[in-house]
Amino acid sequence: MTKGHLINSKTKSYGIFPSFAPLDPEFTPGYRIIDNFSDRFSFNLVNKTEKKKNNHHAQELDEMALHNSSIPNTALVITDASIKNDITTSIAHIHSTNCPLIKTVHHASFVTSSEAELFAIRCGIIQACSLDNISKIVVITDSIHVAKKIFDPGVHPFQIHSAAILSILQNFFAANDSNSIEFWECPSKLK
């Protein structure tokens, strides 16, 4: 069980937040996903320096989404987050063949866009894992650098969310040898 602490400032009181527990099993060598399931997750990144390759990536992303949206054991998770007037909105859409589209929307105050993106990814993965017979999850996000933090064993400010996601994925991967997750980068301005 993690402990909480109160964060105060001269202008804002944030409330009680869980603190990072470095002894969570998700970060213990030998138990970590990167140690046991490194072949079950992948990242498909965009080369931002070459516009021609960006167009190719957009086409690949379209083809991947069309192909996977018709496979019954695949769940597509599309995430986004935005901040306006210190209110953060995290959205995750989850699509799987023969299932209704699932949309989760969360609002929070005074959190970073990275925290909101990671929370949206977390909610999407939870929803995808709760669907029957899902063996492949494809996460499409414009914050791939945040998604990579999930698998980063080093200390970083998002480890609370990382530990929660890794725990979910640990169970998902252990349930079936063919279960996998892919992360696809979809930059906001992919042209």
Token pair of 145 as six digits: 């650098």
Q: Report in angstroms the alpha-carbon separations of 49 from 52, 54, 144, 189, 191.
A: 9, 8, 16, 13, 12
Q: List, for residues 112-125, the tens digit of each pLDDT value.
A: 888 899 999 999 99
pTM summary value: 0.78
pLDDT at 52: 58
Is 157 a member of any domain? yes
DSSP 20: P
Alpha helices (runs of H) in the chain, residue ranges in sequence order? 33-36, 51-68, 113-130, 144-149, 159-175
Q: d(Cα 144, Cα 158) in Å, to the nearest integer?
A: 14
- Residue 34 inside a domain? The answer is no
Q: Which among 84, 92, 95 is positioned nearest to 136, based on CA atoms?
A: 95
pLDDT tens readout for residues 127-153? 999 999 999 999 999 999 999 988 887
Q: Tell me what pLDDT residue 19 has.
A: 44
**Range(s) of the domain holding residue 133:** 48-185
Q: What is the pLDDT of residue 17?
A: 40
Q: What is the dihedral of CA 132, 136, 142, 145, to 10 degrees?
A: 120
The answer to whether residue 31 is domain-embedded is no
Under-50 pLDDT residues of the chain:
1-21, 190-191
Q: What is the CATH number of the domain that holds 103?
A: 3.30.420.10
Question: Does residue 28 lie in a domain region?
Answer: no
What are the φ and ψ backbone dihedral angles of 170, each rounded to 5 degrees?
A: -60, -45
Number of structural domains found in the chain: 1
Within a domain: 23? no
The two three-digit tokens of residue 107, written as one number: 């609002």
DSSP 120: H
